[in-house]
Structure 1
Amino acid sequence: MQYDVIIIGGSYAGMAAALPLARARRKIMVIDAGQRRNRFAESSYGFLGRDGHAPGAIAEEAKQQLLAYPTVTWNEGRVFNAIKTDSGFRIETPGQFYDTKRLVLSLGVEDILPDLPGLKERWGKAVYHCPYCHGYELNQGHIGVLAVGPNSIHQALMLPDWGKTTFFLNDAFAPDEEQSAQLNARGVTVETAPVTEITGHADIRLADGRIIPLAGLFTAPATRPASPLAEQLGCAIEDGPLGPYIGVDGMKETTVPGVFACGDAARGAGNVSLAIGDGAMAGVAAHRSLIF
């Protein structure tokens, strides 16, 4: 059986790509491994119309609305191979092949967290990466930024809009004279003592024994696409500030004709709103490519 479009990844971007295709009555399949990036967070903020709602509930409601369209098939599983064929693409899941004319990659990303005791279990609950998503709820309390490299300066300069900010260098970054002046102008406290542990709610334990209580901690983990499928297909991979991502044009098409990509795996950084917008564009572009 050949599909018009197969969408790999059924989180926000993938479902947003599926919706215009379903409304165009195209035969589509969504293959989803069930690993939303924000699955650790209790609430999703900054998404218009759903501000503060549970991310799992948002995704489930969207899925049920999508499945109301009769041309949509939902497959819970993981794709481990994708190849180009004469008529489009062949997708392989454990024990099954599927053929499709077009392919949308909504692969999501993996966050590569700093190796620091206590951080992983607080990820998405008291340790965050996006101030627009979680900064407001800290109620202008004391905020920390954990440096992981040169890009961390941007977080440190942004966070004072959400509360008193301390920048923990943790031997990962040393600001130069100009950057130090910028931090000072923003009222950021710079802490040079190494961090040994995250404890309590989001408190920093330093190597000299001090504990600094925080309302929340921000860091910028490296990311990478959660699946190697784009590279398997020969799609160009770009280098972003946080890690590699799938290169796309303005219509979300990759360098491989007929393969579109959207969501966090296809941009340098993102959130739910941007993922949904990218997904909608990818779905529309995939549909138009079937016609023109």
Structure 2
Amino acid sequence: MIFDAIIIGGSYAGLAASLQLARARRSILVVDAGIRRNRFAHSSHGFLTQDGESPEAIAATARRQLMAYKTVCWLDGTAEAAEAVGGDFQVQVNDGSVHRARRLVLATGVRDILPDIPGLRERWGTSIFHCPYCHGYEINEGEIGVLATSPLSLHQALLLPDWGRVTFFLNGVFTPDADQSAQLRDRGVTVVTDAVTAVEGERATVRTQNGRLFPLDGLFTAPRIEMASSIAHQLGCAFEDGPFGAFIRTDGFKETSVAGVFACGDAARAAGSVSMAVGDGAFAGTATHQSIVFRKL
């Protein structure tokens, strides 16, 4: 069987893209490894009608609704290889199966690469975050830390005082210039130059090199990202450098540099959230459908 489209990745962007194609009565296969980027978080915020719901519940409801459409097939597995074959695309899955489609939608997501500081990874998504719009409100105007990972962390430090009292840990990453220091003072941000050696405690207590402790209600940092899948590289898709790492380059209709291959979600954006991923996926799904109708590869 040749599907109209194979969607690689069944998280929020992939589900949204799939839904548009399913509602167009197109035959689709969703290949999903089951590893969502926000799997560590207990709740998701900022998504209309789902504010405060668990990420797992949102994804489960979306999958259940998608599977009500009779043209949808779902495969739990990892897409290991993909290539163009005779005007179509062929995808090999880790169970050994091979599938073919007229179009591909890459919703493969990214991995967060955190600073190598003890205690950081264990608290990621529960008391250590990257998005203030997703998690800032729940800190209830308490004590907030920002752990610098690059000079761009200044943006986080200047933004977060709207959610609480901010301490900015430079951690040897950069030194603010006079203008930046003035901006931080104007926003009431406390700057700490000591190196951070660990994150401890029930929530996020930062320990610095000289033994100082900073109890926090939440710590924000901006990790580097890398592709969660090599599929886009295998297909020869062009990439674009973002502030935190490279992402798949797409045009105004979410098509990659490879004709017939579309991309959406965190793998195809400089930054994202559940809301952005859903909108991005919905657009990619409609664009994929219209390319099938109006254009032959």
The question of a shared fold, defined as TM-score above 0.5 by the shorter chain, is answered with yes
Aligned to 1:117: 118
| Letter of the 2:165 counterpart | K
Note the alpha carbon deviations across 1:178-204, whole angstroms, 9 max, x for none. Answer: 111111111111000111110011011
Q: Cα RMSD between the aligned structures? A: 0.6
2:30 is matched with 30
Shift of 1:208: 1.1
1:257 Cα deviation after fit: 0.6
Secondary structure at 1:157 match in 2: helix
Alpha-carbon distance between aligned partners in 1 of 2:235 and 2:200, rounded to the nearest angstrom: 43
Secondary structure in 2 matching 1:140: coil
Determine which of 277, 280, 283 is the counterpart of 2:285: 283
SS in structure 2 at match of 1:213 = strand
1:272 maps to 274
Equivalent residues in 2 for 1:52-131, closer than 5 Å: 52-94=52-94, 95-131=96-132
Q: Does 1:253 align with 2:255?
A: yes
Aligned to 1:46: 46
Question: How many angstroms apart in 1 are the aligned matches of 2:222 and 2:246?
Answer: 14
1:3 aligns with 2:16: no
Q: Which amino acid aligns with 1:265?
A: A
Structure 2 unmatched ranges of 5 or more:
none
Q: Distance in 2 between matches of 1:274 and 1:285?
A: 16
Which consecutive unaligned segments of at least 5 residues does structure 1 have? none
Q: Amino acid of the residue matched to residue 194 of structure 1? A: A
Asked if 1:153 is matched to 2:157, the reply is no
SS in 2 for 1:41: coil
Q: How does 1:181-196 map to 2 (within 5 A)?
A: 181-196=182-197
Amino acid paired to 2:273: N
What is the TM-score with the length of structure 1 in the denominator? 0.99
Identity over aligned residues, as a percent? 61
1:87, distance to aligned residue in structure 2 (A): 2.6
CA distance in 2, matches of 1:72, 1:283: 14
**Secondary structure at 2:142's aligned position in 1?**
strand
Deviations 1:91-121 (A, max 9, x none): 0113111010000000100000010000000
Q: Distance in 2 between matches of 1:173 and 1:125?
A: 27
The amino acid across from 1:6 in the alignment is I
Where 1:264 maps in the other structure, the secondary structure is: helix
Report the alpha carbon displacement of residue 90 of structure 1 after superposing the two structures with TM.
0.5
SS in structure 2 at match of 1:92: strand
TM-score for both structures, normalised by structure 2: 0.97
How many residues align structurally? 292
